[in-house]
Amino acid sequence: MLEGYAPGYAQDALSMMNTRTASDRAAFAQQLFTPGARVLDLGCGQGSITKTLAPACHVIGVDIHHPLLPTGSTVDYVTATVYALPFATASLDVVFSHALFEHLTNPAAALTEIRRVLRPGGHLAISTSDWSRAKIRPRTANVDAALRGHYLLRRQNGGDPFSGRTIATKLATAGFTNITERTRYREDLTYRALATYIETRLAAALARPLTKDHDQLTSAARSAWSWTKSPAIGDFHQCWQELTATR
Ligand SMILES: C[S@@+](CC[C@H](N)C(=O)[O-])C[C@H]1O[C@@H](n2cnc3c(N)ncnc32)[C@H](O)[C@@H]1O
């Protein structure tokens, strides 16, 4: 399946990601960043986490989408895909990745490539979301229908909206050891902003020619639109699964 990266690079998605900081999103991995370590931030986006990820280390941000990568920074940035990293075998101490794995068509191949570039004894730290455990209240029929469309769109783009559920097993299967795992909840968006975020993506998908599952997405888009107009006050907390492991 072709990988499409469902959130896209529109301003609303970029603004949301730009609020993320290392002190929050990478707190679970801080003990891995020993001074002088060579660290990758995979799927680094605009670098809002990367720039303060590990000040005592040599940090390299990697992303497939070149226009996102900051320039003129103390951090190095490289354009590459996680499936073919331009680094020598066993040349890195730590690989960190936040909010990438849920968008990958082939996480197993990505983990094989990460294992290649990590030195034996090197560490991996992954945070990936699990929409199946997100707390979204109230959960009306329109919210449920909009979410079903949202998951369908993620899957059409090759991702797994429930990635956090299975990532530990994937790390073990890839040969990583000392796997630690914990769950964090965060209010990534307000309840109302989530409705708009989902509605915008469904509408954009339907505007493209030959969209698969057109009827299902049309009905989900209608529900998402009704959700955006609902006066209901609610809340949204995304479920993040945070893991560390050793190569
Ligand atoms: C949801 S954003 C996360 C950005 C940042 N890590 C954060 O949490 O704010 C996912 C990023 O992964 C990048 N990406 C998607 N597929 C990729 C791939 N195969 N290899 C490298 N980067 C990829 C996208 O371009 C995007 O910038």
Domain of 54, CATH number, reads 3.40.50.150
**Tens of pLDDT, residues 163-182:** 999 999 999 999 999 999 99
Q: Which atom of ligand 1 is nearest to the CA of 5?
A: 15
Q: 232 alpha carbon to ligand 1 midpoint, in Å?
A: 32
Helices (H), 19-140: 22-25, 107-117
Mean pLDDT computed over 30-34? 97
Domain membership flag for residue 65: yes
**Tens of pLDDT, residues 212-234:** 888 899 999 999 999 999 887 89
Share of residues in the chain with pLDDT > 70 (%): 99
Which H/E stretch holds residue 137? strand 135-137
DSSP-assigned letters across all residues of 186-205: E--S-HHHHHHHHHHHHHHH
Range of the domain at 169: 11-134+160-190+237-246
Residue 127 or residue 208, greater confidence: 127
Domain membership flag for residue 149: no
Q: Is 82 in the pocket of ligand 1 (CB under 6 A)?
A: yes
Domain membership flag for residue 207: no
Q: 55 alpha carbon to ligand 1 midpoint, in Å?
A: 21
